[in-house]
Amino acid sequence: MEAKKANLSALRINKESRPAGSSTTRNTITIVVVLIAVIAAAVYGWNWLVAPAIEVKLTTATMMSPAQSNAVLTASGYVVAQRKAAVASKATGRLIKLNVVEGDRVKKDEIIAELEDSDIRTQLDQARANLKVNEADLKDAQQTLARQKSLLEKGLTSQAEYDAVESRLQRVMASIEYAKATIASAAVAMENTRIRAPFNGTVLTKNADVGEMVVPMAASVGSKSAVVTIADMTSLQVEADVSESNIQRITVNQPCEITLDAYPEVRYQGFVAKIVPTADRAKATVMTKVGFASYDSRVLPEMSAKVLFLTRANDQAQQQVKPFLTVIASAVVERNGRRVVFVVQEGRAVEVEVSLGRTVGAYVEITSGLTSGDKVIEKVDGNVQGGVKVKPV
C-alpha cells in the first residue's frame, strides 16, 4: 500500500519546471524574422540603387487663355518692326561725335552722329573765296564791255576788240556759275558728314564708336558702315509661319490673340494684317503678319510670340477673364484619394498634390500646387510611383 502511494506521488506535475527548449524556439523565430526583414530591406535597397530608370516625357505647366477654345489655329513667330533702318553715312570719315545710345528716341532729321569735316570745310571756304574773285572780275568785265560799246559806237575801237571784251564777260559769268556749283557740292559733302535720323524711331543698337572710321560700305575690320540701327516702334507686327496645309484657315483682318513668351499672362488683341503671297518651300510655310490692335512698352522687337487665330472676336466678358494655369490631363492621376502630378527631382519622381478646376479640351486647370513653367511627367501610369527612378526623354 505504501509502495502505491509512493508511485502516485511521483506522478505529480511540478509547476515550477518548464520545457527546456521553449526559450530556444522563441529565439530562433526572432532570428528568422530579423533575417527575413534584413533580406527584404536589402532587396528593396538593391532595387532602389540599381533598378533601371523609367523613361518619361515631360510637359510644362502653362498659362492658357479662354480664347484658346475659340482658336482655329496656333502659330509661333517673332515681333518685327516693319520700319527699321541701319543708318549709315554717305561720306567716308572718322566718327567724332555720337549723340545717341541704345534706347534713345530720335525724331526725323535729327543729327545722330557727325564725321570729321575739316577737309570738306576747307574746300567749302576755298569755293566761296573763288566765287568772290569771280564776282569781282564780273564787275570789271561789265565796265570794260560798257566802255568798248561806247567806243565802238563812236568808231574809236574795232569790232574784234569789242567781241573779245564781251567773250571775257561771258567767261567770268560762267566762272561764277561754276564757283556756285562748287560751293553747293562742298555744302552737300559737308551735310553728308552729318548722319540724320530717316524717321521717328528708337535706337536699337549702336554699331560704331567715336574714333572709328565710317565708310558707306565697310571694307575692312577697322571700318564700320552702319552707325546705329533704329526702328519705328509704332510699326511692330508679329511675323508667324503658318503651315501650307492650314493657310486656308487664315484670312486678312481675322481676329487674333497675341501672347509674348516673356509675359505669358498678358494678352494682346490683334488681327491678320497681311498674308505674304509666297511660300518657304524649305519649311513648307507661309509668312503671316499679325498687327497689334494696341500694345504697350513691354512689346519689343525680336521677342518670341504665340498667335491664336480666332474664329470670331472675343466678347467683352471673355476679354476680362484672366489666363489660367493648365497641364495636359494625362499628367494628373488619383492616388490615395488625392489628385497628384509627378515632378522630377534628382532623377526621381516626386509626387505633388494639386487642386483642379475647369477642363479645356485635353487640358485641365491647376488651381494650386504648381506654378507656370513647372515641368511634370506628361503621362502617368502604374509604373510611376513616388521615389521611382525616371529618365526624361
Residue 341, pLDDT score:
94
Q: Which residues is 303 bridged to in the sheet?
A: none
| Residue ranges of domains in the chain | 54-64+323-392, 67-83+234-320, 88-115+193-231, 117-192
Determine the pLDDT at residue 316. 43
Higher local confidence (pLDDT), 144 or 298: 298
**Among 35-44, 127-136, 375-384, where is mean pLDDT lowest?**
35-44
List C-alpha distances in Å: 265 to 69, 156, 218, 322: 17, 100, 44, 8
pLDDT tens-digit profile of 234-262?
999 999 999 999 999 999 999 998 989 88
Q: Quote the CATH superfamily of domain 117-192.
A: Helix hairpin bin (1.10.287.470)
**The predicted structure's pLDDT at residue 287:** 95
Top CATH class, 54-64+323-392? mainly beta
The DSSP code sequence of 312-327 is: SPPPHHHHHSPPEEEE
Asked: is 67-83+234-320 a CATH 2.40.30.170 domain? The reply is yes
Helix, strand, coil share of the chain (percent; to 5): 35, 35, 30
Evaluate if residue 40 carries a pLDDT over 80. Answer: no
> Residue 296 CA to chain centroid, in angstroms?
16
pTM beyond cutoff 0.85: no
| Contact between 217 and 225 (Cβ < 8 Å) | yes
Residue with the larger pLDDT of the pair 58 and 7: 58
Residue 23: per-residue pLDDT: 60
Q: CA 138, CA 344: separation in Å to the nearest integer?
A: 94
Kindly tell me if the per-residue pLDDT of 218 is higher than 80: no
Output 6 or 302, whichever has higher pLDDT.
302
Is residue 16 predicted with pLDDT exceeding 60? no
pLDDT confidence of residue 145: 82
pLDDT at 238: 96
Indicate whether 319 pLDDT > 80: no
Residue 24's pLDDT is 64
Q: Cβ atoms within 10 A of the Cβ of 283, count?
A: 11
In sign, the C-alpha dihedral spanning 291, 295, 301, 304 is negative
* DSSP conformation class of 209: -
Topology (CATH level 3) of domain 88-115+193-231: OB fold (Dihydrolipoamide Acetyltransferase, E2P) (2.40.50)
pLDDT digits (tens, 9 = 90+) for 44-59: 555 445 567 888 889 8
Question: Mean pLDDT lowest for which of 21-35, 65-79, 350-364?
Answer: 21-35
The helix/strand/coil state of 378 is coil
